[in-house]
């Protein structure tokens, strides 16, 4: 699925560059990442560090108009999230959807 196949959320999320995200992690800043790739891709490789909280929820869980509360309960609503995927399209969609729901979400530019 590419970005053109995804519905468009009402809100648009700001983007963070990979360089800026790495700098935040290297500086020891607490970073919460929502990785929306498939679990098999996440299990193979994901961003991890002592100061990184990493959550894996595949993007298709955000495609329904009424997102399941069990999905939203796994996402902290009191801190900034960086949403990422393989190429950037799915994370842009999910981050915009979360912004629309009141979350503080950014998307990682161009994905992993």
Q: Please give the positions annotated as active site.
A: 85
- H or E stretch at 71: helix 69-72
Determine the Cα–Cα distance for residues 79 and 16; give it in Å rounded to an integer: 15
Is 51 within 8 Å of 28 (Cβ atoms)? yes
């Amino acid at each position: 699925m590419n970005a053109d196949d995804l519905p468009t959320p009402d809100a648009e999320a700001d983007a963070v560059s990979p360089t800026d995200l790495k700098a935040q992690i290297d500086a020891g800043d607490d970073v919460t990442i929502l990785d929306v790739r498939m679990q098999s891709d996440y299990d193979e490789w994901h961003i991890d560090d002592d100061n990184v909280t990493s959550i894996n929820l595949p993007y298709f869980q955000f495609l329904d108009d009424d997102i399941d509360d069990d999905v939203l309960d796994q996402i902290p609503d009191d801190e900034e999230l960086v949403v990422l995927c393989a190429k950037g399209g799915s994370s842009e969609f999910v981050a915009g959807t979360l912004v629309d729901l009141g979350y503080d979400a950014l998307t990682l530019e161009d994905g992993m």
